[in-house]
Structure 1
């Protein structure tokens, strides 16, 4: 899979998150917002590493750790983006596994953060 294909997946997931938010499915919103960020992070790592090692990462925690180490700690991506990635993942875990209700404000925040994240990493990839 190429970085462009991953960014396309991220864009599709973001669109899905927005539709789910409008439909009132806040758990689904958080899930899709997180996966938009996940795929954008994979694309950014693929570009940053110049090889396919990002595609070999098998776990969510592994991807988040690699993103932090290779992009946030090196200053290529802001700390704020790294933190939002972690927080949206936390919301996804609540939505998908813990059964606690996700509030509309949290879902709206997740979609907004995902949009900022995907847009910022897309810009990073063309620099």
Structure 2
């Protein structure tokens, strides 16, 4: 595994732990953001291992779908989760309302945990 891939996976794990702490601390909107970033860093890791790097979130989203989910290398639901989590992160970060409740943030954290685990398994099988 490439060093940058490993670093991105470590960062994904840290984001996942932070999401749990933020949820327990009563900040579901910020927990949603960290859950998204756990998925995002894991997606970047999967792409980086294949020498694909992108400057924008939209590039990572599109490439993850095109090169990993669409051909079935990773479950397509992971791509849907990544896109949905991005939308919730935007709400949580930029809305002054509490648009992400505890249940939604908890679901995102569960999805992020499964997402990161799936990417780790995928990269370990290369």
TM-score category (smaller protein): over 0.9
Partner of 2:73, secondary structure, is: coil
Return the TM-score normalized by structure 2.
0.93
Aligned equivalent of 1:6: 8
TM-score (norm. length: structure 1): 0.92
Give the Cα–Cα distance (whole angstroms) in 1 for the partners of residues 15 and 9 of structure 2: 10
Give me the whole-angstrom Cα distance separating, in 2, the residues matched to 1:99 and 1:10. Answer: 26
Any unmatched runs of 5+ in structure 2?
none
Q: CA RMSD in A?
A: 1.0
Q: How many residues align?
A: 122
Q: How does 1:1-127 map to 2 (within 5 A)?
A: 2-47=4-49, 49=50, 51=51, 53-54=52-53, 57-101=54-98, 102-127=100-125
Q: Could you tell me how far 1:100 is from its partner in structure 2?
A: 3.4
Counterpart secondary structure, 1:77: coil
**Counterparts of 2:104 and 2:118 in 1: how far apart (Å)?**
21
